[in-house]
């Protein structure tokens, strides 16, 4: 056993010697003289500097003038005589700054190629074709307004949301009642946010079509009621019941009461200031700044 330990000790010691030998840095090569190194680094510097100076000088001529004509004439003569590709590229760049020549670009000269959309039969394919046509500024033909309306009334949440978004872009008047109806029955916060965004994108003249009363959405989730009030705050054309909004101002501090105070300038006027000041008493630190700002905005 002792001899075994002795041999292990010798093996570990040998590895340590080899590792220390490998850790030693290799001997440095003889350094080049400083003058030779500087000469090697500066071989192309004057040439590169001259090309950059030509470009910088060309930038200084903002308007046509005799001096500019002489300068760019010299550059063109030098470009015609040059055979070096790098020098030619630099001179071409400098000549582009000639103020006497109209700016040109190779971009936009080719006519746009219109590739017709492939024929599709599936519902998802037709939705994609409709969205593609709208994005290209073309009249969508894959789905009619009636078909989009039918899809928007479906049970698939994702399909319904996509159909409503496209219907809003195709026919806002047909989409408005469906969006308000969807807001009253949706329960998921993510879905409610999407619906609120789409309602906010409706034209002002059509956002009121199908506008529900608070009673119709009162049984819905808090996020739906808050979204209803937030739309009122930015769409004064929606006539909300003052008594309903006034009743929401004294509730607990949450997104609904915040939205209600944000809607005060759109729903009330200075004649209602006394009632609003009474409602603003005893508010929490979360609501007090909103109430103060709302009262200051009354007209």
In angstroms, the CA 229 to CA 211 distance is: 12
What pLDDT, on a 0 to 100 scale, did the predictor assign at position 19?
40
Torsion angle, CA of 151/157/159/163, rounded to 10 degrees?
60
pLDDT in tens, 114-152: 777 778 889 999 999 999 999 988 899 999 999 999 999
pLDDT in tens, 169-200: 999 999 999 999 999 888 888 999 999 999 99
Average pLDDT over residues 45-60: 90
Q: What's the predicted TM-score (pTM) here?
A: 0.61
Confidence of residue 10 (pLDDT cuts 50, 70, 90): very low
- 220 DSSP 8-state letter: S
What pLDDT, on a 0 to 100 scale, did the predictor assign at position 120?
86
264, 287 Cβ separation under 8 angstroms: no
Measuring CA to CA, which residue among 225, 202, 203 is closest to residue 213?
225
List the domain boundaries for the chain.
52-101, 121-240, 241-299
pLDDT in tens, 229-267: 999 999 988 988 999 999 999 889 999 999 999 999 999
> Of all residues in the chain, what percent carry a pLDDT higher than 90?
60
In angstroms, the CA 66 to CA 73 distance is: 10
């Amino acid at each position: 056993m002792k001899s075994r330990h002795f041999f292990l000790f010798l093996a570990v010691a040998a590895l340590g010697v080899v590792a220390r030998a490998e850790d030693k840095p290799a001997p440095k090569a003889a350094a080049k003289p400083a003058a030779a190194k500087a000469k090697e680094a500066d071989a192309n510097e004057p040439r590169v500097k001259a090309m950059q100076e030509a470009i910088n000088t060309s930038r200084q001529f903002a308007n046509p003038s005799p001096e500019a004509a002489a300068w760019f004439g010299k550059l063109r003569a030098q470009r015609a005589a040059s055979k070096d590709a790098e020098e030619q590229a630099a001179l071409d760049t400098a000549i582009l700054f000639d103020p006497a020549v109209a700016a040109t670009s190779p971009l936009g000269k080719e006519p746009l190629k219109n590739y017709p959309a492939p024929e599709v039969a599936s519902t998802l394919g037709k939705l994609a074709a409709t969205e593609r046509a709208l994005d290209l500024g073309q009249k969508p033909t894959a789905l009619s307004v009636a078909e989009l309306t039918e899809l928007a009334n479906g049970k698939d949440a994702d399909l319904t949301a996509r159909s409503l978004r496209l219907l809003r872009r195709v026919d806002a008047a047909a989409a408005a009642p469906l969006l308000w109806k969807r807001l009253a029955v949706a329960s998921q916060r993510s879905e409610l946010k999407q619906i609120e965004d789409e309602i906010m994108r409706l034209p002002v003249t059509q956002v009121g079509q199908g506008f529900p009363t608070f009673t119709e959405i009162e049984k819905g989730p808090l996020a739906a009621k808050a979204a209803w009030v937030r739309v009122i705050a930015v769409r004064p054309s929606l006539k909300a019941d003052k008594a309903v909004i006034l009743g929401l101002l004294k509730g607990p501090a949450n997104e609904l009461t915040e939205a209600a105070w944000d809607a005060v300038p759109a729903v009330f006027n200075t004649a209602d200031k006394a009632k609003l000041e009474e409602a603003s008493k005893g508010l929490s630190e979360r609501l007090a700044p909103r109430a103060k700002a709302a009262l200051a905005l009354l007209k």
